[in-house]
Structure 1
Amino acid sequence: MTFNWHKEAEKQWDERAGFWNANSENMWDTGSRKTIIPFFKKHIKEGSTVADLGCGDGYGSFKLEKEGYHVTGLDISEDMIRRAKSRLEHERLQFVQGDLVHLPFEEERFDAIMAINCLEWVEVPYEGLQEMKRILKPGGKLCIGVLGPTAKPRMNSYRRVYGEEVICNTMMPWELEEMALETGWHLEGGYGVFKREVEGKDVSFLPKDLLQALTFMWVFIFEKDK
């Protein structure tokens, strides 16, 4: 049978939904994602319409809504969306199942997008990035995080070196930045999330490429052309 990357991704993330649900609050409240929403707030005004792409069980979407945004969360996993709907959905926070390369939204619908560690799970990341641009209003902002070289989840792509079919792209932060700049996005800002061994140490003197090489995740803000 022909391998279908996105169907396999849906299946595998359905299988991981329970584990993700058990850990998502910690990730967003005190873990690797705790700095993302404060960063988001510095660049996107309260009251904006936001698509949270790759929302998982919706806890990050929930935190955005609590900060005054109108949020629509999307994930490829039916189980993730079911969990999000059952405990979090209300007037300013909706959830829908969908694929990053075929987003079920009309053009220029949203003021902003949050997309954390999800573009790596798309077979052709360029297609996902183009879809994000399509649903953003002119001048809209994209807050996007990509796994760095030290992130253990990148092991999901390791078996590709044997020629096996996987559902994860090992995309470097510099590769995402280059692709975005080549396709008409404007870089507004960014920062690194580091593992505990680096946190608290002064690494500000390092050039950007070495900083990115140390990261668990790099978070960017890009702007769509006005």
Structure 2
Amino acid sequence: MKEAFQKQYDEKSAPWNYDGFDKDIQNFLEDNKVFSVWNYSELDKDFDEVFKKLNPRSTVVDLGCGNGAQAYHIQKMGFDVTGTDVVNALEYELNNFILDDSLKSKLTKKYDVIIDRGLIHNLFHLKETRHKYFEMIGNITHDDSYIILKVLSPYEARFNPSTHSGPYRFNEKQLEGFYSGFGFKCVELKDTLFYTNLQPHLRGYLGIYKKEL
């Protein structure tokens, strides 16, 4: 059996012969360098810049925190951070972690800063339930809250949803009014990198939202 699979692999025949699969992603996964492409261990450089400008006494929630790396590094900066996710896949020690499904959220506390790093772009295709995400946002924000959103860019070819099970791609117009239903205005929207364990890093958008009072 092993020899048969090896022969298929060497000849690039089925099941490996999928022309739509990105070569760099295939090589990366075959090298077995890490368990997941998305489990980036450092603090995103743009997040570092943003949080250095915020009050370190702020309460922060990292929605869909994954392995907890971003929450952990922000916690080290002095912020009161809570990580949430539908499963506990933490690789870093957080002072606060809540098991929570963003589409069936039980969160009630209101936070000063809400982080969505790659959550909604994985939920947006769920047309019948995605409104639950926005209901959660309404429940956990107050008049002075900031929302920090990072999603993949439509200009990033890798993990394309048309050829893979990749995240939904939002355009700039969608992102500018993304949380307007709750009175939030996009105060910054820029091209950035969605840092992962792939090189080069994926292209992304960073949006920062603040309520208009």
What TM-score results when the alignment is normalised by the length of structure 2? 0.67
Offset at residue 223 of structure 1 (A): 1.5
**Residue 66 of structure 2: aligned partner:** 56
Deviations 1:162-197 (A, max 9, x none): xxxx684332243122232355212222322159xx
Q: Distance in 2 between matches of 1:177 and 1:190?
A: 7
What is the Cα-based RMSD across aligned positions, in Å? Answer: 2.8
CA pair 46-173 structure 1, distance change in 2 beyond 3 A: same
Q: Which one-letter code corresponds to 1:94 in the other structure?
A: N
Contact 1:185–1:224 at 8 Å: present in 2 too?
yes
**Residue 35 of structure 2: aligned partner:** 18
**Residue 145 of structure 2: aligned partner:** 140
Deviations 1:44-76 (A, max 9, x none): 311111100121100000011011111111122
Instruction: Give the structure with the higher percent helix.
Output: 1
Q: Distance in 1 between matches of 2:185 and 2:111?
A: 17
Confirm or deny that 1:216 pairs with 2:210: no
Q: Which runs of 5+ in 2 are unaligned?
A: 1-33, 195-201
Confirm or deny that 1:109 pairs with 2:110: yes
Percent of residue pairs identical: 20
**Residue 120 of structure 2: aligned partner:** 119
Q: Distance in 1 between matches of 2:100 and 2:157?
A: 26
Q: Distance in 2 between matches of 1:153 and 1:104?
A: 34
CA pair 82-116 structure 1, distance change in 2 beyond 3 A: closer
**Residue 176 of structure 1: aligned partner:** 175
Q: Which runs of 4+ in 1 moved over 3 A?
A: 124-127
| Bigger radius of gyration | 2
Confirm or deny that 1:40 pairs with 2:51: yes
Q: Distance in 1 between matches of 2:178 and 2:153?
A: 16
Q: Which runs of 5+ in 1 are unaligned?
A: 1-16, 161-165, 196-214
Offset at residue 159 of structure 1 (A): 4.9
Contact 1:20–1:57 at 8 Å: present in 2 too?
no
Deviations 1:178-225 (A, max 9, x none): 232355212222322159xxxxxxxxxxxxxxxxxxx81111111235
